[in-house]
Amino acid sequence: MTRSLRRSALAGVAALALLGTAACGSGFDDDENSGAAQSSGPANLQILIGSSGDAETKAVQDAAARWATGSGNQATVTPAQDLTQQLGQSLAGGTPPDVFYVDAARFADYASVGALEPYGDKISNSGDFYESLRTTFTYDGKLYCAPKDFSTLALQINTELWTKAGLTDADIPTTWDQLTAAAKKIKASGQVPLALGDTRDRIGAFMVQNGGWLLSKDGKQPTADTPENLAALTYVKSLLTEGLARYPKQLDAGWSGEAFGKGKAVMTIEGNWIKGALQNDFPNVKYKVVPLPAGPKGQGTLSFTQCWGIAAKSRYKEQAIKFVEAMTAGEQQLTFAKAFGVMPSRQSVREQYVAAFPADKPFIDGAEYAQGPVNAPKMDSVVGDLDTGLQGLANGNPKTVLENFDKNAKAALGG
């Protein structure tokens, strides 16, 4: 699963503009694309994925080939060069792939214009998917698509630098106060305590830990300007202003994982994708993964996920659902996990996953208290403005950042 947060904003805007144009025309659910146009098979499924690399591409292609052979269908898996752009253009042009990856941050945009088939509850034992993932892919009360896999945030600690700062396992922070205390000891040793990503995709975890978030549960009301969120951002600001945390750019790094890998910070907050990055680029770094420290209102983290979308205009919806059924089976998800490092979206194989990857237990445990991304259509510019505010948080006003989000979100949601 591709986890890069440096998405192509311009491509996304262009794709959504195209989607909007198409949605204002004949729409995605018109009569000519209803059940009468469906084919009972055999199907020639076209599958578009946003691959993280050769390992993921091969694993999905192999799984699709096995399904095709066993079912008597054909399945062609194509890795996209730019999934957002290619998918947006194909949906708007009326020739979408039958099945495709849908990122959680894009899901509401596609669902709101009728581009997706709401098939989620047709998958066997759909209640087996983690509830936080089901919520992420629910729109207007319907589970649209099956979660493919997921990631959460946890705390990574460089064990050598931790020891160098005079800290032991007894100092591993489980609360904000303990995080502050450990960070002060690290700073006193002449090291940077925490490398922290400068967007809502990292800082938002602190809001969740204090019982807050940016939108209501139904995704229809902005909820940023609250005492809970204000306290969370005020705490993050204190870490920044006191030199207890640094953004990656302050550490001459492109992202927190790079800063951590280079030894420029003792701790960082990242998802389980950091494992592969460190193995590839910084194989000598010794570190451990622990849950994020709890805030005043308890534990909290963020989840990042994708689903298997099925096009509302597909001629092969029945076969596509069967394909997704095979891709999201527990054993197949474990195969994917071993091939390219993702975590299964089904709770029933959790223990098998932990047995195979014990060091990743803090990540998968986070599913129980994870918050998904901003899940509403037309929010690109709103969250972009929020990130700009967070990037200036050290010298900014947390209250203003939150007020601006609510104002902008209200305009977008009302429009």
Rounded Cα distance between 252 and 273, Å, is: 21
| 369 backbone dihedrals φ, ψ, rounded to 5° | -135, 30
By C-alpha distance, which of 161, 194, 215, 240 is closest to 398?
Answer: 240
- Token pair, residue 91, equals 């949906």
Per residue, the 3-state secondary structure of the chain, as one string, reads: CCCCCCCCHHHHHHHHHHHHHHHCCCCCCCHHHCHHHCCCCCCEEEEEECCCCHHHHHHHHHHHHHHHHHHCCEEEEEECCCHHHHHHHHHHCCCCCCEEEEEHHHHHHHHHCCCECCCHHHCCCHHHECHHHHHHCEECCEECCEEEEEEEEEEEEEHHHHHHCCCCHHHCCCEHHHHHHHHHHHHHCCCCCEECCCCHHHHHHHHHHCCCCCECCCCCCECCCCHHHHHHHHHHHHHHHCCCEECHHHHCCCCHHHHHHCCCCCEEEEECCHHHHHHHHCCCCCEEEECCCEECCECCEEEEEEEEEEECCCCCHHHHHHHHHHHCCHHHHHHHHHHHCCEECEHHHHHHHHHHCHHHHHHHHHHHHEECCCCCCCCHHHHHHHHHHHHCHHHCCHHHHHHHHHHHHHHHHHC
User: Facing residues of 302 across strands?
Assistant: 371
Provide the whole-model pTM.
0.89
Dihedral of the alpha carbons of 259, 261, 267, 271, in degrees to the nearest 10: 90
The domains of the chain, with CATH numbers, are: 9-151+304-371 (3.40.190.10), 152-302+376-414 (3.40.190.10)
Rounded Cα distance between 260 and 40, Å, is: 52
Rounded Cα distance between 167 and 189, Å, is: 10
For 315-338, how does the pLDDT look when each residue is reduced to its tens digit (9 = 90+)? 999 999 999 999 999 999 999 999
Is 41 a residue whose pLDDT tops 70? no
Rounded Cα distance between 178 and 209, Å, is: 14
Share of the chain above pLDDT 70, in %: 90
The residue written with tokens 């947060």 in the block is 5
User: Facing residues of 301 across strands?
Assistant: 370
Is 242 a residue whose pLDDT tops 90? yes
For 182-227, how does the pLDDT look when each residue is reduced to its tens digit (9 = 90+)? 999 999 999 999 999 999 999 999 999 999 999 998 889 999 999 9
Contact 293, 173 (CB under 8 A): yes
Is 371 a residue whose pLDDT tops 50? yes
- Confidence at 375, pLDDT banded by 50, 70, 90: confident
- Token pair, residue 353, equals 């996953």
For 114-156, how does the pLDDT look when each residue is reduced to its tens digit (9 = 90+)? 999 999 999 999 999 999 999 999 999 999 999 999 999 999 9
For 151-180, how does the pLDDT look when each residue is reduced to its tens digit (9 = 90+)? 999 999 999 999 999 999 999 999 999 999
Beta strand 44-49 with 146-158 is: unpaired
For 13-40, how does the pLDDT look when each residue is reduced to its tens digit (9 = 90+)? 344 444 544 444 334 444 344 443 666 6
Contact 208, 300 (CB under 8 A): yes
Mean pLDDT of 79-85: 95
Contact 338, 356 (CB under 8 A): yes
Rounded Cα distance between 390 and 199, Å, is: 6
Rounded Cα distance between 107 and 366, Å, is: 22
| Amino acid at the residue 342 | V
Average pLDDT, the chain: 91
